[in-house]
Amino acid sequence: MPTIEEAADKIRRDRRSGASEIARRAAIILAVAADNARTDHALRRNMVRLGRTLLRAQPTMASLLNLVNDVLLASESPRNPKDRVRRVLETFYSEQDSGPGRMAGHLARLLKRGGRLLTHSYSSSVVQAIGVLRQRPEFRTPLKIVCTESRPLLEGRNTARQLAQMGIHVTLVVDALAGEYLEQGRVDAIVVGADAVLESGLVNKCGTVGLARVAGLRKIPVFALAGRDKFLPPALAHHIQIRPEDGAEIWPRHPSGIRLENRYFDQTPLPLVTSFVTPGGCLSPGQALKTMKSRLAHPLLAGRRH
């Protein structure tokens, strides 16, 4: 069995899994560390140390940051902090398990214009929600999904593969072709996941903002599937870092004199998102902002970067 440190390092090196999947694995690591703590002081120390390690590993994922934030708040409870940490983690697991199905129900009511959807990158929430959607008796529109390759890591192939295994009609396109699909009205809606939802915008795979702008011009709705864990308190937004990635991923052994710029994420302004589809219902950009502002932030995380 891998050590806690080895499991955390595996999360650090993961560049293909969705945010929800990574946060779930982090929750398991936090649960083990909490169970290993023999005193309340050791519990708080373990949560702070491991929380910082996990956030350094994946600094762009709000689900992970919110999870660590909630665990730290629970660990400082004056009574039964270990039990409170366990309840935070149990609630997280429950929301992860039930979230896609509940989001699928809300999404079904939004897709009145048809089931031709375009999705970008890989999101386990999106894949699961679409899988549930096709099985709902009230949703009779045949689903046809357009998936982008999502370069440079091509995680869109994983999306396409999983949806095709469900028996859904799937078309995989190169990223540069997605705009033409929107321009020609060949999709009814864009459905994407969310790595983070901030005051400044939706953080998702690089290219999302361009797709959202073209969709806005063509009056095509943009739906972002986001659990409660994706909405970040404003006091924690400074932790989210969109950092440059290895240029060799887009052109190995490239000629000298060429500057390569590679990033995995961008920010889409909130008004470009038609609706944030959450397990609890659909939120307008304004309602999403209120949700973020209502969340508490642990002083240790609010005061500095991890």
Residue 173 has pLDDT above 90, yes or no: yes
Q: How many helices (H) and strands (E) does the chain have?
A: 11, 10
Is the separation of the CB atoms in 143 and 215 below 8 Å? Answer: no
The CA-CA-CA angle for residues 178, 182, 186, to 5°, reads 100
Residue 54 has pLDDT above 80, yes or no: yes
Where residue 185 falls (left for φ over 0; alpha for ψ -120 to 50; beta otherwise) is left
State residue 166 phi and psi, 5-degree precision.
-85, -5
pTM for this predicted structure: 0.88
* 223 in the same domain as 89: no
The number of distinct structural domains making up the chain is: 2
* 82 in the same domain as 34: yes
pLDDT at 22: 87
Is the separation of the CB atoms in 214 and 179 below 8 Å? Answer: yes
CB hemisphere CA count around 189 (13 angstroms):
21
Which structural domain, as residue segments, surrounds residue 260?
Answer: 100-293
Name the residue type at position 272. L
| Beta strand 169-173 pairing with 189-192 | unpaired
* 151 in the same domain as 129: yes
* 135 in the same domain as 72: no
pLDDT at 148: 99
Residue 188 a catalytic site member = no
The share of the chain scoring above pLDDT 70, in percent, equals: 94
Q: Mean pLDDT in the chain?
A: 92
Residue 150, domain CATH: 3.40.50.10470
pLDDT at 138: 67
Is residue 268 helix, strand or coil? Answer: strand
| Tokens encoding 112 | 């009145």
Residue 19 has pLDDT above 90, yes or no: no
* 133 in the same domain as 84: no
* 173 in the same domain as 75: no
* 289 in the same domain as 267: yes
* 239 in the same domain as 137: yes
Catalytic choice (70, 188, 195, 229): 195
Residue 113 has pLDDT above 90, yes or no: no
Measured in residues, the chain has a length of: 306
* 34 in the same domain as 106: no
pLDDT at 304: 60
pLDDT tens string 144-165: 999 999 999 999 999 999 999 9
Closest CA to 211 of 272, 142, 137: 272
* 10 in the same domain as 24: yes
* 127 in the same domain as 84: no
Closest CA to 201 of 138, 103, 289, 91: 289
Mention every residue, 6+ apart, whose C-beta is less than 8 A from residue 145.
117, 118, 119, 130, 160, 163, 168, 169, 170, 171
* 264 in the same domain as 126: yes
| Tokens encoding 159 | 């999306």
Closest CA to 72 of 89, 57, 96: 89
Is pLDDT larger for residue 120 or for residue 108?
Answer: 120
Q: Which residues are bridge partners to 118 per DSSP?
A: 146, 190
Residue 1 has pLDDT above 90, yes or no: no
Residue 64, domain CATH: 1.20.120.420
